[in-house]
Amino acid sequence: MSGNRESLSDLQELLFRVRSPKTRQLVEDAIEAYYGRAYRASIMSIWVAVSFDLLEKIEELATYGDKEAKKYTKALKGKIESRNIQSLSQIEQELLKVACDDFELISKEQKTLFERLKEDRNSCAHPVYTSDGQIFTISSEQARMYLTYAISNLLCLGPVRGRSSVESITNDIKGEAFPHEPENAGQFLEEKYLKYSKAILLENLLEILLKAVTKDDEFWSGFQNNALRAILGLSHTKTKKHEQWMKDNLSKFCDSLESEELSNMVSLIIHDSRYWEWIGNQHRLQLITLIKKISITPKTYETPTLATALLGGVERYARHKIANKFGLKDFDEIFHLIYIKELQPILIEKLQELPEIEQTKIINKHPHKGFSIIAVNLYSNAGSFRTAEHLGQNVILPMVNYFDIKYVNSVLHAAVNNSQIYCANGSSNILYIFVNTLLERSDIDFSSDIDWKSYQKGINLYYDDINNLLLERGLITELKQEKTNS
């Protein structure tokens, strides 16, 4: 008896998963019959619940605008109103075939099991004898299996139809109201389509969206970014299923892509480096080759000329082509890939090829320890007060949490030895923030690993706020000599 109570507890938990309130009442009857050891009655109630749920799902598809569902529902209502018993019996006989073949509400494997349920229901409802003359019976294990299978594979799911559902989803993704933030996009798809859906719908959708992002498909023209947001959104709301599908299928998907299509995978990789791992080594090697081929040769001129104007136009056009090649909005997004170890040397080299103004912009947007040497060189060579302030604000401060000891020393050395830096009005505040932030870092002990005393004279002369901060922290002691005027 204790076993039955445990079974009841499990079945009651399953009952709460049944999506439709009306179907839930029918399932409750089946569970009560099961608990009362009336297994034949339980089987009959399960079949009624399955039949009712399939018809309700078709009706719900009709409310979503499905033309075939509308036609079927209208015919069904007509037969119910006319009380044509023969026609209604025919509907029940063909229901599983219609649900599987016409509306894709169940798979062929599910159809086979539910047909077995229907056969057992018929045997339970009529005086059927076995070959040895015994009355047909159902075991508790069979009844329980039908109950758990029906709930888990049908009754807890929404009316998700394969082709029509995907069509509705893609139309929503292309729609003007599709959320702009990936997290919201994922939540929208989850609530409207995927919450009660079968796994196959998500799998089909991911493949469709990957094709939209990588291939030149007229249907998705102008909406590739919407498809991209949808994939990224699904990585948030369907985390485990999305991850598993990508691990199992992304490399195989990339096998089908031409090189110019494969390059569009970068638009995903810049948002989540896991895609870099999932595409497989052969495709990583291809992308490394394509990124190495990025080529822009900047020139600088002392005074604006027609040549510089024309060159600027050529460079902008080249950058635009590179962005398009990799499925990006802007050229500088390629530097998001600095977080991928294999690409760091290539991207550092590409950054060094760019004009200093673009180097500054990219380091500001994508700070990374790999850019440390470029950032320090830019700052150390500042040629004017305003340039020193601009680089301090837009390069040094964004990089403060990425510098190691070597580069911290280089920044401090530049601050006390480059007159364009230490004489600039804004440098004192910039460097105070820099030093204060350094001292808060927990990954490196900057209080002991930097010989602050070696910079004490310069700090004492030019940066009162920093000097006082270091004195408070006990990192330097008051100089005995008087401060001299600079």
Which strand (E) or helix (H) includes residue 185? helix 182-189
pTM for the full predicted model:
0.67
Q: Give the model confidence (pLDDT) of 397-417 as tens digits.
A: 999 999 999 999 999 999 989
Which long-range contacts link 250-256 to residues 24+ away (Cβ below 8 Å)?
250/210, 250/275, 250/278, 250/279, 250/280, 251/278, 251/279, 251/280, 251/282, 251/283, 253/207, 253/210, 254/279, 254/280, 254/283
Distance CA 162, CA 168 (A): 10
Please report which confidence band the pLDDT of residue 482 belongs to, taking 50, 70 and 90 as the band edges.
very low
Q: Which two tokens stand for residue 401?
A: 């949490």
What's the mean pLDDT in 41-46? 95
Find out whether 275 and 268 touch, Cβ atoms under 8 Å. Answer: yes
Residues facing residue 129 across a β-bridge:
135
State the Rg of the chain over Cα.
34
What's the mean pLDDT in 6-30? 84
What is the structure's pLDDT at 133? 61
Please report which confidence band the pLDDT of residue 9 belongs to, taking 50, 70 and 90 as the band edges.
low
What is the structure's pLDDT at 234? 96
Q: Which residue has the tokens 């380091």?
A: 363
Q: Which residue has the tokens 């970068």?
A: 266
What's the mean pLDDT in 347-374? 94
Q: Give the model confidence (pLDDT) of 364-394 as tens digits.
A: 999 999 999 999 999 999 999 999 999 999 9
Query: Mean of the per-residue pLDDT values for the chain?
Result: 87
Alpha helices of 326-462 — where are they, by DSSP H? 344-352, 356-365, 372-380, 385-391, 397-399, 405-417, 419-422, 427-440, 446-449, 456-462
Q: Report in angstroms the alpha-carbon separations of 252 from 248, 280, 285, 287, 291.
A: 8, 9, 15, 16, 22
- Of 123-137, 206-220, 252-266, give the lowest mean pLDDT range: 123-137
What is the structure's pLDDT at 299? 44
DSSP 134: P
* Closest-CA residue to 128 (of 38, 40, 46): 40
Q: Is residue 483 predicted with pLDDT exceeding 50? A: no
Alpha helices of 16-139 — where are they, by DSSP H? 21-35, 39-63, 67-82, 85-97, 108-125
Q: Is residue 31 predicted with pLDDT exceeding 90? A: yes
Please report which confidence band the pLDDT of residue 344 belongs to, taking 50, 70 and 90 as the band edges.
very high
- Is residue 309 classed exposed, middle or buried when 0-12, 13-18 and 19+ CB atoms within 10 A define those classes? exposed
